Chain A
């Protein structure tokens, strides 16, 4: 009898120790912890939660997670229940993390940017609830912003001496004595000039990227006629095309009125970036085909070249910052590798999509989709 009592006491002690250890762990984790039941109601929170958000456990216990703690997007617009991570996790019963900028609104009304991971608690194949861990990323965002500001500042500073060299070289190249100089002299001056221009391109691209990162890009959407946009692009790209001995072909598959709600200046930048790439990476006397089509309320733009092509491994990194494939560097030493990153940021910001298909040595096709708007009386 005594043995049974002793065993029971021992078992009880072990359980209590494990619970105390578990509690201590839960309580002492530096990030915020929230445990919910399978319906998303808060069962438990830790000390970090209380100190980070300002609510005591007793104030949120038993309430739905998405209702108890206000969550907002990067513009501080409240996120609807269906837009919140917990809803996804409860539905799919799989671990998920935030991918976009989200913030929690504290009890005092201030906002705290967070990265959140929510894991389902599954015991014996039964979905019991979820555990959320959230981390205050204020410091990470500060560092990102400081980095962006630094790039911006440095780039501005670089523009001045680069601008000075540019004009001085142009002034010399304009002089009679240089026009009459030996070919090698003119050639070497030209190389210096080209190198200087390369630096200017890099600086301009760095500034574009840092402006996008800092959310400073002027993006004033307005109604833009697709044909007007394409017209401008074709006009500007014809000179580059003839310089590279490349022919531009435009196929418009839908002749009805197509309208975008977009910033016209940025849209032109994006199109010209893609078309100039197609021209530059084409073979001599090559052709670049631009196709305009519309389907399901989307504008489809395809830019096809028969140039050097992009390898499969390069394609994966194509739209990242600073990526330049080796083939591209050989063909065009003047690019900075920031162009496609900028293009992708803009296109996705407009609710569109960009993708590429390619074959090494045979050519590439860049496809862009953008949402069209319906004008009264126009048909898509």
Chain B
């Protein structure tokens, strides 16, 4: 069973994504900020990380930068999920050819997100 780590501070998003992903047969774990996220990655070695940007304590982009310095995290699959418009800093990872995707929550359908996740995890 594939493991997905959800790094997101908004409980409404967490509840929905957790139940939808579990329904699809994935094993879901949660972290509510970048710091918890880094710990969770080390412990669980997830197959995919869904990463929110705006979070307290440590935001998503800071976590991502630290993650890429880690031997496991260097090649971890990441989908950045945010409502913020893309800027250079956000696309840095994507443009550098890392296994990172960038999706704007309010602009895509839930089904589109699910399809993206499925396609990444089938590889």
Contacts of A122 in B (CB 8 A): none
Indicate whether B69 reaches chain A with its CB closer than 8 angstroms.
no
Task: Give the distance in Å from the alpha carbon of A160 to the alpha carbon of B10 in the complex.
Answer: 9
Main secondary structure of the interface of A (DSSP, over half): helix
Indicate whether B65 reaches chain A with its CB closer than 8 angstroms.
no
Cβ contact within 8 Å between A156 and B16: no
Indicate whether B13 reaches chain A with its CB closer than 8 angstroms.
yes
Contact with B along A146-165 (1 / 0, CB 8 A): 00000000001001101110
Indicate whether B12 reaches chain A with its CB closer than 8 angstroms.
yes
Cβ contact within 8 Å between B85 and A200: no
Cβ contact within 8 Å between B84 and A170: no
Query: Within residues 36 to 55 of chain A, which ones have a CB less than 8 A from any CB in chain B?
Result: none
Contacts of A200 in B (CB 8 A): 106
Give A176 Cβ to nearest chain B Cβ, in Å. Answer: 12
Give A210 Cβ to nearest chain B Cβ, in Å. Answer: 11
Question: Which of these, B16, B83, B85, B110, contacts A160 with CB under 8 Å?
Answer: B83
Contact with B along A283-310 (1 / 0, CB 8 A): 0000000000000000000000000000
Query: Within residues 129 to 177 of chain A, which ones have a CB less than 8 A from any CB in chain B?
Result: 156, 159-160, 162-164, 166-168, 170-171, 174
Indicate whether A207 reaches chain B with its CB closer than 8 angstroms.
yes
Task: Give the distance in Å from the alpha carbon of A203 to the alpha carbon of B105 in the complex.
Answer: 14
Indicate whether B89 reaches chain A with its CB closer than 8 angstroms.
no
Cβ contact within 8 Å between B106 and A162: yes
Cβ contact within 8 Å between A163 and B83: yes
Contacts of A163 in B (CB 8 A): 83, 105-106
Task: Given A168-B16, A170-B111, A171-B16, verify A156-B84 contact (CB < 8 Å).
Answer: yes
Task: Give the distance in Å from the alpha carbon of A153 to the alpha carbon of B106 in the complex.
Answer: 16
Task: Give the distance in Å from the alpha carbon of A221 to the alpha carbon of B20 in the complex.
Answer: 42
Contact with A along B82-105 (1 / 0, CB 8 A): 011100000000000000000001
Query: Within residues 29 to 85 of chain B, which ones have a CB less than 8 A from any CB in chain A?
Result: 83-85
Contacts of B16 in A (CB 8 A): 164, 167-168, 171
Task: Give the distance in Å from the alpha carbon of A166 to the alpha carbon of B110 in the complex.
Answer: 8
Cβ contact within 8 Å between A167 and B110: yes
Task: Give the distance in Å from the alpha carbon of A170 to the alpha carbon of B110 in the complex.
Answer: 7
Task: Give the distance in Å from the alpha carbon of A18 to the alpha carbon of B78 in the complex.
Answer: 79
Give B54 Cβ to nearest chain A Cβ, in Å. Answer: 9
Task: Give the distance in Å from the alpha carbon of A170 to the alpha carbon of B115 in the complex.
Answer: 14
Can you sample 6 A-B contacts with CB below 8 Å?
A: A160-B10, A160-B105, A162-B106, A163-B106, A167-B105, A170-B111
Binding site for B on A (CB under 8 A): 156, 159-160, 162-164, 166-168, 170-171, 174, 200, 203, 207
Binding site for A on B (CB under 8 A): 10, 12-13, 16, 20, 83-85, 105-106, 109-111
Known: A162-B106, A167-B110, A171-B20. 13 other contacts (CB 8 A): A156-B84, A159-B83, A160-B10, A160-B106, A163-B105, A164-B12, A164-B16, A167-B13, A167-B16, A167-B105, A174-B110, A174-B111, A203-B106
